[in-house]
């Protein structure tokens, strides 16, 4: 793993899926991640990471999942297992509280909200790569949910496109500790350039 230098003008923070359904009590998915989220202090670390990025002048990109709407996936040839669960649970439903941003992570004026992704990669069928290139971003820091699905897929896709990728192991969560281990100890080292804790990242970011 490298010890990267994060130049403000070339670094982007990718905040993936900060919805109430994931991050808030009463959210449809929150009970499934609550134990891991509490163990790693997810919300505190997300607040610290996003706050430090904004303070340093690093561009924040929101990378949101598709907000479920009536008819989604119903006539698809092969929706994936997660999409079938989204259809069943109506996860992140548009126009509902669960599909709204967690109140601590509402986009601010200079943040960029990327087109919603249908599956797991924030790049597939969205404008994320285009926006990163237009803002001269070479280094991406990925935080949010879930560690072994959207975070891993987005970060792996970023590496394939030539970006320097940082994973923040305690600014994400998964359904089980085993999935967190797979994301950061087994799979992450095959594509990420740096895997750090929130404390390590804050030390590395420009003041």
Domain CATH for 200:
3.40.50.850
Exposed, middle or buried by CB within 10 Å (0-12, 13-18, 19+), for 185? exposed
Query: What is the pLDDT confidence band of residue 165, given thresholds at 50, 70 and 90?
Result: very high
What residues make up the domain containing 139?
8-204
Q: Identify whether 1 is part of a domain.
A: no
Q: What is the pLDDT of residue 191?
A: 98
Tokens representing residue 173 in the block:
């969560």
Distance, in Å, from the CA atom of 78 to the CA atom of 101, rounded to the nearest integer, reads 29
Query: What is the pLDDT confidence band of residue 1, given thresholds at 50, 70 and 90?
Result: low
What is the arithmetic mean of pLDDT over 124-149? Answer: 98
| Omega prior to 146 cis, within 30 of 0 | yes
Distance, in Å, from the CA atom of 123 to the CA atom of 79, rounded to the nearest integer, reads 18
Nearby residues of 201 by Cβ (< 8 Å), 6 or more positions away: 49, 52, 141, 166, 168, 171
- 3-state SS assignment for residue 57: coil
- pTM of full prediction above 0.75: yes
Q: What are phi and psi of 181, to 5 degrees?
A: -60, -45
Instruction: Give me the percent of the chain exceeding a pLDDT of 70.
Output: 99
Query: What is the pLDDT confidence band of residue 3, given thresholds at 50, 70 and 90?
Result: confident
Task: Check pLDDT > 90 for residue 34.
Answer: yes
Q: Identify whether 44 is part of a domain.
A: yes
Report how many domains make up the chain. 1
Query: What is the pLDDT confidence band of residue 97, given thresholds at 50, 70 and 90?
Result: very high
End-to-end CA distance of the chain: 23
Q: Identify whether 3 is part of a domain.
A: no
Distance, in Å, from the CA atom of 183 to the CA atom of 154, rounded to the nearest integer, reads 12
Contact 198, 191 (CB under 8 A): no
Q: Identify whether 2 is part of a domain.
A: no
Label residues 126-150 b or e (16+ Cβ within 10 Å = b).
bebbebbeeeebebbbbbbbbbbbb
């Amino acid at each position: 793993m490298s010890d990267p230098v994060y130049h403000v003008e070339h670094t982007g923070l990718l905040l993936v899926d900060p919805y109430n359904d994931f991050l808030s009590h009463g959210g449809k998915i929150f009970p499934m991640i609550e134990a891991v989220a509490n163990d790693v202090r997810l919300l505190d670390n997300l607040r610290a990471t996003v706050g430090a990025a904004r303070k340093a002048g690093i561009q924040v990109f929101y990378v949101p999942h598709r907000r479920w709407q009536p008819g989604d996936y119903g006539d698809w040839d092969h929706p994936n297992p997660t999409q079938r669960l989204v259809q069943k649970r109506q996860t992140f439903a548009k126009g509902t509280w669960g599909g709204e941003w967690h109140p601590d992570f509402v986009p601010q004026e200079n943040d960029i909200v990327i087109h919603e992704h249908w599956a797991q990669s924030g790049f597939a069928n969205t404008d994320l790569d285009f926006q990163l290139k237009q803002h001269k971003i070479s280094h991406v820091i990925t935080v949010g949910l879930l560690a072994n699905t959207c975070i891993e897929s987005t970060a792996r896709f970023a590496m394939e496109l030539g970006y320097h990728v940082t994973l923040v192991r305690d600014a994400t969560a998964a359904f089980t500790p085993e999935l967190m281990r797979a994301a950061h100890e087994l799979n992450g080292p095959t594509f990420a350039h740096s895997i750090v804790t929130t404390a390590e990242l804050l030390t590395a970011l420009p003041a």
